[in-house]
Structure 1
Amino acid sequence: MGETGRTSRRDAALRRCSWATGPDEAMRQYHDTEWGTPNHDSRSLFELLSLELMQSGLSWQTVLHKRPAFIKAFHNFDVHTVMDMDSHIDLLLLDAGIIRNRRKIQAIITNANAVAHLEDTGTSFATYVWQFVDGKPITNHFPDHSQSPCRTPLSDKMSKRMKEDGFSFVGPVVAYSFMEAAGLVNDHETACFRHQEL
């Protein structure tokens, strides 16, 4: 049997979080390689924050499938390019590839400016984000993902601080989803192979 056949069989045998067990390969790939993995790259963290706020009120699957279009529309989420995109909002609202919500698009631009301001004061976005967990991921032990919270006192604190520091559309629920995505919190189900790996 070829390498691809062995990989597919091994892949099929893996125990995953319940939300990643469906037929959507993009969801499985995101679960297996990215979600919950500690992320210390400032550009990548800005991208995740942007996608998480775009998800508000929608499914993550919708956002994930539009991710390539978001990356193109927001110039690979380069903070210094995005911070100057106010004049592009009307054009972005015509882009059927992304989620066309003026408030959310404006929030991404506002947040790019907040990140740039942090950098100007000598703090990377990664350093800023990881301070909320003292640099160490929090590992939870939920048998089922439905048991994980939508928000916590820590995400309340993070949300409040981020708003004070100029960030927009970062309520406690968005903040907690971002913490899960960026690996500040390991909310993989306890039986999931990624829970043990992380």
Structure 2
Amino acid sequence: MMQDYYDTEWGMPVRDERGMFERLSLEAFQSGLSWATILRKRPAFRRAFDEFDPDTVAAYDEADVERLMADAAIVRNLSKIRATITNARATVGLRERGGLVEFVWSFQPESTPEPRSIEEVPTTSPESLALAKALRKEGFAFVGPTTMFALMEAVGIVDTHLVGSHRRGSSGVWTT
């Protein structure tokens, strides 16, 4: 499962709103947990959060929060569930200014890291710090700089595949 995700999905550009909202949501749920846990639960998250349709999630009410808190198939963290609903509403609000995808991609750095070992892979960047701050200003929650760097890696904004990896540059965003 992890190998398939790494080889086919992680680091590939995400340019659609639903896809970006899903990645943002799952990165928030991953905070403090392993990515393997979130990936195993991803089908349940998709069912529970209506395929991460921002309009649908933005309309969630307290009954939905209770339903989600009772769903043992997902991570039942009240703060993260409420943040996902808050972030859906903020995503809808960003549409009048170009949308979530354009907003997140606007923090793409001039260059991408070039790690030669796992120890050299950064966990934050000036851009992830700025993205986190800007998203919070727009009303988003659970969007710290480390979580936003993980999002930037996941959606291809930065390429932290090791130099020499068969995946390095495979997104087409970065040629090195």
Runs of 5+ unmatched residues, structure 2: 172-176
State the 1:144 CA deviation: 2.0
Runs of 5+ unmatched residues, structure 1: 1-25
- Report what 1:165 is aligned to: 138
CA–CA distance in 1 between the matches of 2:169 and 2:46? 31
Is the counterpart of residue 33 in structure 1 residue 8 in structure 2? yes
**One of 180, 190, 194 as aligned partner of 2:163:** 190
Q: Which runs of 4+ in 1 moved over 4 A?
A: none
**One of 34, 43, 63 as aligned partner of 2:38:** 63
Secondary structure of the corresponding residue to residue 25 of structure 2: helix
More helix by share: 1
CA–CA distance in 1 between the matches of 2:25 and 2:38? 10
Amino acid in the other structure paired with 2:135: M
**One of 107, 113, 123 as aligned partner of 2:83:** 107
Identity %: 42
Is the counterpart of residue 49 in structure 1 residue 24 in structure 2? yes
Structural mapping, 1:57-136, within 5 Å: 57-87=32-62, 88-119=64-95, 121-133=96-108
CA–CA distance in 1 between the matches of 2:132 and 2:17? 18
State the 1:151 CA deviation: 1.1
CA–CA distance in 2 between the matches of 1:168 and 1:190? 33
State the 1:81 CA deviation: 0.3
Question: What is the RMSD of the two structures over their aligned residues, measured on CA atoms?
Answer: 1.3
Secondary structure of the corresponding residue to residue 57 of structure 1: coil
Aligned 8 A contact 1:141 1:189 in 2: yes
Amino acid in the other structure paired with 2:90: A
CA–CA distance in 2 between the matches of 1:65 and 1:146? 26
Q: Whose radius of gyration is greater, 1 or 2? A: 1
Query: So what's the TM-score if we normalise by structure 1?
Result: 0.82
Identify if the C-alpha distance between structure 1 residues 86 and 145 changes in structure 2 by more than 3 Å, giving closer, same or farther.
farther
